[in-house]
Structures are given as C-alpha cells and as structure tokens.
Amino acid sequence: MTKPATYAAAGVDIDAANRATEKIKELARTTFNARTLSEIGSFGGMFDGAFPEMRAPVLVASADGVGTKLKIAFATAVHNTIGRDLVNHCVNDILVQGARPLFFLDYVATGKLAPETIAGIIEGITIGCRENGCVLLGGETAEMPGFYADGEYDVAGFIVGIVDREKIIDGKAIAPGDVMLGLPSVGLHTNGYSLARKLFFEVAGYEPDSFLDELGETVGAALLKSHVSYLRNLETLLDTATIKGLAHITGGGLLENIPRILPAGTAVEIKRGSWPVLPVFTAMQRLGNIEEAEMFRTFNMGIGMVVICSAEHAGEIKQAAGDVYEVGRVVAGDKSVSLVS
C-alpha cells in the first residue's frame, strides 16, 4: 500500500514554521506602539491612520532588498544583521521625501525553514524597527523546497511612512549656488556586492575570515558592516524647510542617484578629497584596477546620504546632523554629476 503523502514529506515543515512564527510574534511585539491594532499572525496588519496634527498627511511607501550581501551572511553564518540593513535601507528611501516611518513588513523565503536562522533575521529587523520608531506590523515566511540552495534565503522589506504635504522634500527648489553635504557611510551598505565579492573572493582569493591590515579587520566583517539609517541625524530638520533635496546613495552610487533629485537646469560638482574614502573602497579599487568613474557609479564611496541646501543653511544642518562633510556644490547644467579637484 502506498504511504500517504504529506506536506512534510514534500519538504515543507509546518511545525517548524509554527515555531518560527511564535518567535517572530515575540520579537515583533517589542516594536509595537499605541497605533498598532493587530497581532502578528492576522491576515492583515492594522495601524491607526488618524493624523489630526497634520494638515494634509501623505503616505510614502517603498520596497527593497539587500541584494547579494546575503551571500556574505551565508558565508559567515551571521544572520542577525541583514534585517537591520533591510529596515535602514527602506527608512532612508522614504526619508529623502521627508517622511518618517510608520510601519514595516517583511518577506523571508527559504528552501528549508530553520527556525533559529529565521529568528536571527527577524531579530535584526526588530532592532532596526525599534531604532527608527517603526512598527513591525506583519510579514510572510515562505518555505519553498527546491527553490533555494541549502542554507540560503531571500529577504525583502516594505515600509510605509508619512509626511505633511507642505513639508515634502522634492528637490524642486534646488538652484545653482546651493551646497551639497554628505553624511558618511560605514561601508558598502547594501549595494555593489556582486563586484565586491568578485574582487575579494575571486580576484584576490581571500576568505571571509581573512584578516587584512589594509582594512583593520576581516573581509567578512568589513562587508557585513551595517547599512546606516540617517533618520535620527536629519529628523529635527524635516520640519524646518532648510533641506532642499536628499539623495540616498545606493545602487548607482553618487553619479546615478544625485541626478534623480535635480531639477532641470542644474548639475552637481563633487569635490575630490572632501571626505575620507573608506579603506574597503580603496582596497577594491586596487584589487580590480577600477577606474574612478566606475567606483563612483557602483559604490557609495563613504557617503551614504547627500543633503542639498542653500549656503546660508549649511551651518545649521551641519550642527544638527552630526558628522557631515561639505562635498560639492550645485551649478548650472543638465542634471549631471561631475568630479572636480
């Protein structure tokens, strides 16, 4: 007699999923606030959407992942930092329009569900949510046998924030003569990892635990450095109308992201040497003999967020935002970015 087929025999362990869900509920509750109206496990997350203190509240939403930085997590077996990267990346993406985060949802998919690994990922997400005052409202954990390599997974994040319509930052007021400020990154953040992995692991033949004097740490540690959130640096400025434009420096680097916020008739000149380029970038440029333009359109080069403001407000923003470098200026042009000495 043929043995009865089961979902578990097909590779999906519902009991493991239930154990993971219980841990997720426990972690998610640490992010809840008075606006949270549902528990993890509901079919839909509910959030109080009344904002009487705002004249015209506008919701701002974004979705993203962390790309092949996941490969570094797999290689090092460090799974509790990727989630924080994910949240911070999404927070920055809505911050550029002046929005503060309200709630976050995640999607985690894997071939075989390992509750301890899922818990590590969600731990990182909840840390990121708490740091940014953002509720982890819900998400999905999918077990998909045969779809992912053993021990691998994918993660994606979805964020919703809010800004009063009159306080939206859209770059329309940017004009020649404005100043460009840069907030420092701590590493690659979440972009450029396909090239970084090729350079360190294929070209140079290093392992994740290889210690490099040039970096002052192992390759794995350098590549796992967290994606920084700039919300706390800039939050007090969001209501002051001093910021004309913000650009989150992700895929495409400085050369591709800054033009996204420039109005017609303007361009930007970035001054070489106006901020310290991190050792991880100089190491990669050396390993691959990479041209300067390619570095600047692939990596953030040590600047994770760009602020454009009038010259008269530059001092105020520097004082409020903490570590800030004056990295360039706005000139007349056709929405281009150039490097100048």
Q: What is the pLDDT of residues 78-104, one digit of tens each?
A: 999 999 999 999 999 999 999 999 999
- Provide the pLDDT for residue 305: 98
- Provide the pLDDT for residue 144: 94
In the predicted structure, residue 63 carries a pLDDT above the cut 70: yes
330 phi, psi to nearest 5 deg: -95, 135
How far does Cα 258 stand from its chain's mean position? 16
Find out whether 292 and 337 touch, Cβ atoms under 8 Å. Answer: no
Tell me what the pLDDT averaged over the chain comes to.
Answer: 95
- Provide the pLDDT for residue 5: 61
Q: What is the mean pLDDT of residues 169-192?
A: 97
- Provide the pLDDT for residue 24: 87
In the predicted structure, residue 3 carries a pLDDT above the cut 90: no
Find out whether 60 and 162 touch, Cβ atoms under 8 Å. Answer: yes
Helices (H), the chain: 14-29, 69-76, 82-95, 115-131, 193-197, 219-223, 231-234, 253-257, 279-288, 292-298, 314-321
Nearest to 305 by CA among 196, 227, 226, 215: 227
In the predicted structure, residue 254 carries a pLDDT above the cut 90: yes
In the predicted structure, residue 189 carries a pLDDT above the cut 90: yes
Task: Kindly state the percentage of the chain with pLDDT values over 90.
Answer: 91
Q: What is the mean pLDDT of residues 226-230?
A: 97
Least confident of 17-21, 224-228, 319-323: 17-21
Residue at 127: amino acid letter = I
Per-residue confidence at 20, pLDDT binned at 50, 70, 90?
confident
Looking at per-residue confidence, does 247 or 42 come out higher? 247
Per-residue confidence at 7, pLDDT binned at 50, 70, 90?
low
Hey, CA dihedral for 213, 215, 220, 226, is it positive or negative?
positive
Q: What is the mean pLDDT of residues 151-179?
A: 97
In the predicted structure, residue 199 carries a pLDDT above the cut 90: yes
In the predicted structure, residue 69 carries a pLDDT above the cut 90: yes
In the predicted structure, residue 42 carries a pLDDT above the cut 90: no
Distance of alpha carbon 140 from alpha carbon 99, whole angstroms: 25
In the predicted structure, residue 1 carries a pLDDT above the cut 60: no
Per-residue confidence at 21, pLDDT binned at 50, 70, 90?
confident
Per-residue confidence at 40, pLDDT binned at 50, 70, 90?
confident
- Provide the pLDDT for residue 6: 62
Least confident of 36-50, 260-274, 327-341: 36-50
In the predicted structure, residue 13 carries a pLDDT above the cut 90: no
Q: What is the mean pLDDT of residues 307-314?
A: 98
Strand, coil or helix: what is 200? helix
Per-residue confidence at 17, pLDDT binned at 50, 70, 90?
confident
Task: Give the tens place of pLDDT for each residue, 132-160.
Answer: 999 999 999 999 999 999 999 999 999 99
pTM to 2 decimals?
A: 0.94
Per-residue confidence at 299, pLDDT binned at 50, 70, 90?
very high
- Provide the pLDDT for residue 9: 65
Strand, coil or helix: what is 168? coil
